[in-house]
Structure 1
Amino acid sequence: MDGVTLPPDLTAPDPDFDALDQSARRHVTGPEGRRIHWAEWGPADATPLVLLHGAYGSWPHFIRNINAFSNDHRVLVPDIPGYGLSDLPAPLSIAAIGEAVADGLVELIGNRPYRLFGFSFGGAIGGRLMLHHRDQITHAMLAAPAGIATAKVPPMKGVRFKQGEELVQALAFNLRSIMFARDETVTPQVIALQHRVSMAARLRVERVDWGEGLRAPVTDFPGHLSVIWGAADSFVGPAEMPDRPTWIKRWNPRAATHVIDNAGHWVQYEAADQVNDLLRAHIML
């Protein structure tokens, strides 16, 4: 946040963030220039649970989920290439990013079975892992995943060169427009989190080659698959939302689908308890 002036309430210590940040174990995988940075929580010998964050994000996209699973899982969260501390990918494609993350995960866990949760852009990357590690992923949950259909683009405000309260208002507008269904979800904590992770982002999604999307990964996926959305997801038009579960079921009739009321795109934050319960039930199958 160097060079940017924020009001004091957005620079105050965040106990939730600080506790997770300080307790994380850190790893780096991949060759020089293609490094991927990982954060890890939980017992090292437990079943791995891999969480893949959304665009312009990092591990704080799961700030309300990590503790729910770190007692009995080895929770692993990469900074997806181009975000956080990780290097930019080459080429700029979902396929290349997915391959890099898959290779990095093998460095950390070998061929051990694992469970996967992918959010938004991370859902598209998760689809690539579902291809690379077809028989290694026992359970996959995709939340508001990119790669199903062309996304509706919600309005947003630019934040570059903004300072102080003007910056805070722009960040708050974007969170309401893009991420959340309810105004009360937009707190100083989440505004500060969003600013923290977005300032570290270098990969712009409009420059990425999206490839074939999720149809191939979802079709005939042999593990347990669940796909969830917030009912007010800003990237899906209201008339289109009923079609999303239908497409998933058409591609994989065994898949479970859930639409969560009163929640937006960042569903695992806004409806954390419901998503944590759904994920817990899913991995018990």
Structure 2
Amino acid sequence: MVFRRIGNGPPLLLLHGGHGSWLHWVRNVDALSARHTLWLADMPGYGDSGVPEGAQTLENIVGVLGRAVDQLLGESTALDIAGFSFGGLCAATLAAARPQVRRVALLGPGGHGLPRRERLGMLNWKDLPPGPERDARLHHNLAALMLHEPAHIDAMALALHRSACVNTRWRSKGLSRRALLPDALEILSQRQVPVLLAWGEHDVTAVPTQAGPALLAGASQMELVIVPNAGHWLQYEAADATDRLLLDWFAPA
């Protein structure tokens, strides 16, 4: 596994989404690293990290991730974890298995098993060579899934999405569509680990006003925030609002 370490302060592990890399957090690094030592992972099978042996299961990817974090930080080191999309499911699962976790933030998490609200179908780009036509399909997919406002699909968003897609070798879709998150949230609730659930107002991977209350029902130490004017990739589309949200959530006790 490959990690980037940036900043100074209490450790904060950041996990990207499916078809992603550590650069899913590129617009948040400056603000968050002013108060935290950020550990930005390329999860197994993504970005610059290798593909783990064995089946593509949640247990496998989280097991590799957990062992890597223990090697880097030590098993007894308390840390905070934030995860986006599929990385949110991984973050919750890792936190449920690791005793030394202080707080967790899940942004547009996958694995909730509740209704989605896709507006546009995704286009296949893999059968095309690099060039304008492939970029047009990737641009379409950013609009269909990741970003709500067309103006926010800028050159950097397209470049990051292109690079992440090309370097994705782990298929998260089957895991993200299953109801795997509630079990991890139940464990975290029983352990009284504070969990933030955050969605962009226009996230197409869930209906936030339904998914949030359903996941929080009966849970303790959990909060729901819906970020206005943002789609699924809320930490990119509403970077300043997300920075404020996370800095407040992960502030020292």
- TM (norm. structure 2) is 0.90
Backbone CA RMSD of aligned residues:
1.9
User: Structure 1 stretch 104-113 or stretch 219-228: which is displaced more?
Assistant: 219-228
Report Cα offsets for 1:96-138 as digits up to 9, x if no partner. 11111111100011121111100000011111111121x3111
What is the rounded CA distance, in whole Å, between the counterparts of 1:261 and 1:177 in structure 2? 18
1:176 maps to which residue?
143
147-156 or 167-176, larger mean C-alpha shift = 147-156
Deviation string, structure 1 residues 206-245 (Cα, Å, up to 9, x no partner): 4559876111221224222111001111112xxx432111
- Aligned AA (2:63): E
Amino acid at match of 1:60: L
Cα displacement (A) at 1:81? 0.9
CA distance in 2 between partners of 1:275 and 1:52 (Å):
15
Which consecutive aligned stretches of 4+ in structure 1 deviate over 3 angstroms post-superposition? 150-154, 206-212
Q: How do 1:71-220 residues align onto structure 2 when only pairs under 5 Å count?
A: 71-89=34-52, 90-110=54-74, 111-133=76-98, 135-150=99-114, 152=116, 154-160=120-126, 161-206=128-173, 208=175, 213-219=180-186, 220=189
Q: Displacement, 1:170?
A: 1.1
What is the Cα deviation at residue 203 of structure 1? 1.2
Are 1:235 and 2:205 counterparts?
yes
TM-score computed with the length of structure 1 as normaliser: 0.80
The CA distance in 1 between the partners of 2:248 and 2:170, in whole Å, is 34
Counterpart of 2:242 in structure 1 is 275
1:218 and 1:251 in contact (8 A); partners too: no
What SS does the corresponding residue of 2:162 show, helix, strand or coil?
helix
Deviations 1:181-226 (A, max 9, x none): 1011001111111111211111122455987611122122422211
Task: Tell me which of 32, 45, 51 is aligned to 1:69.
Answer: 32
- Aligned pair partner of 2:232 in 262, 265, 269: 265
Aligned to 2:216, the other structure's residue is in SS state helix
Counterpart of 2:208 in 1: which secondary structure? Answer: coil
Distance 1:245 1:208, change over 3 A: closer
C-alpha displacement at 1:251, in angstroms? 4.6
Q: Distance in 1 between matches of 2:122 and 2:244?
A: 31
Q: Greater CA deviation, 156-165 or 108-117?
A: 156-165
Which stretch shows the higher mean deviation, 213-222 or 191-200?
A: 213-222
Amino acid at match of 2:20: G
Could you tell me the percent identity over the aligned residues? 27
Deviation at 1:71, TM superposition (A): 2.3
Structure (1 or 2) with the larger CA radius of gyration: 1
CA contact (8 A) 1:225 1:255 kept: yes
Asked if residue 222 in structure 1 is aligned to residue 187 in structure 2, the reply is no
**Alpha-carbon deviations, 1:19-67, whole Å to 9, x = none?**
xxxxxxxxxxxxxxxxx11111113xx3110000000111110001111
Cα displacement (A) at 1:254: 2.5
Separation in 1, partners of 2:24, 2:73: 23
Look up the match of 2:14. 51
Instruction: Tell me if structure 1 keeps the 8 A contact 2:105–2:195.
Output: yes
Q: How many residues are treated as equivalent by the alignment?
A: 244
SS in 1 for 2:112: coil
Q: Structure 2 vs 1, CA of residues 182 and 245 (structure 1 numbering), >3 Å: closer, same or farther?
A: same
Aligned with 2:135: secondary structure?
Answer: helix
Secondary structure (helix, strand or coil) at the match of 2:102 reads strand
Q: Residues of 1 paired with 2:46 and 2:170: CA distance?
A: 7
Give the superposition deviation at 1:282: 0.7
Shift in Å at residue 83 of structure 1?
A: 0.6
